Structure 1
Amino acid sequence: MTERPRTLLAAIGGIDVLRRLSNTFYEAVLADPLLAPVFADFTRTHIEHVAVWLGEVFGGETRFTDELGGHQALLRAHLGLKITEEQRLRWMELMTAAVEKELPDDELLRRRVVEYFDWGTTIAREVSADPEGTDLGDPGPTPRWGWDGLV
């Protein structure tokens, strides 16, 4: 049996694979009648920001924290979106399809990545119920996700 890379990011193949994943996912999202309204303010820079976020979460450099505002900024971006459970589940369907298309054919890797998205979208949905400008307190550092889940 071969030894797994230390981080999910290394197993995924790096930030370029996360860019492809984000691009594939958002192409589907923007064409989806249930999800497109949630992303009414979408810009192409969103794809890069998501890739950088995921790179940090999956064990890479702390670029999202250092350059884009970290965990607090990510949570604030979801305030006021009023994401429904139906939208969250559709988001998961589209992301799972993107994971299957873009990530290496490794069942455990794909499962861990999808588990992260399930965990993260649950938090995003909860935060989205609060109005814009809500004080979120200190959510702590950007979470890290590894082979055993939340690190």
Structure 2
Amino acid sequence: MTELADRADRAATLYEAVGGTEGLRRLSNTFYEAVLADLLLAPVFADFTPTHVEHVTVWLAEIFAGPADFTADLGGHQALLRAHLGLSITEEQRLRWMELMAAAVDKELPDDELLRRRVLEYFDWGTRIARDVSAASVGEDLGDPGPTPRWGWDGLA
């Protein structure tokens, strides 16, 4: 079966396909449990709180075409980017982040190759932006990054 034919049997959005907010919450919890135990990544999350998992869950829901609550309640795209300022994320840390996220995706998301690939493509794209933004100083003007991006079955919408 072709990828296009496969999609006819899939949920309309990645948000629905991952199991909605609950699926994203499980993914985030599994991922951050690994991150906080990781010697390379734990220092990046020195100020981590349980609220962080919920904010990431809400962000991912919006990215994958679910409720736009991150924009409505948590400051949108600009706030997410500002949260990464001054973290000085290295490429080694970004790649380790991707390894741990891939493991969480394998554990928590449905066994659907296209779904997992699209979700990981988003994370690869997003972690590159986070790494680049993290080199800027806290308080630096990022300009207007535009609205919160959306990621679907064809990638960036």
**Band the TM-score falls in, shorter-chain normalisation:** over 0.9
* Gapped regions of structure 2 (runs ≥ 5): 1-5
Distance 2:129 2:148 in 1: 13
Distance 1:3 1:106 in 2: 11
1:60-99 → structure 2 map (5 Å cutoff): 60-99=66-105
Could you tell me how far 1:95 is from its partner in structure 2? 0.3
Distance 2:43 2:22 in 1: 27
- Separation in 2, partners of 1:98, 1:8: 16
* 1:29 partner letter: V
Tell me the distance in 1 between the aligned counterparts of 2:19 and 2:31: 17
Structure 1: any 5+ residue segments left out of the alignment? Answer: none
Please name the residue that 2:29 is paired with.
23
Give the CA deviation at 1:105: 0.4
In the alignment, which residue of structure 2 is the partner of 1:104? Answer: 110
Q: Aligned-pair distance for 1:5?
A: 1.2
CA shift, 1:77, in A, is 0.2
Partners of 2:119 and 2:97 lie apart in 1 by 14
CA–CA distance in structure 2, aligned partners of residues 6 and 17 of structure 1: 16
SS in 2 for 1:122: helix
3-state SS of 1:78 partner: coil
CA shift for structure 1 position 115: 0.2
Question: 1:8 is matched with which residue?
Answer: 14
Superimposed CA distance per residue, residues 9-28 of structure 1 (whole angstroms, 9 cap, x where no aligned partner): 01111100100000000000
Q: Which runs of 4+ in 1 moved over 6 A?
A: none
**2:45 pairs with 1:39:** yes
Separation in 2, partners of 1:96, 1:134: 31
Q: TM-score, normalised by structure 2?
A: 0.95
Q: Distance in 2 between matches of 1:134 and 1:75?
A: 11
CA–CA distance in structure 1, aligned partners of residues 13 and 150 of structure 2: 10
2:3 maps to none
How far 1:100 moved relative to its partner?
Answer: 0.4
Alignment of 1:107-126 (within 5 A): 107-126=113-132
Q: How many residues align?
A: 151
Give TM-score, length-normalised by structure 1. Answer: 0.99
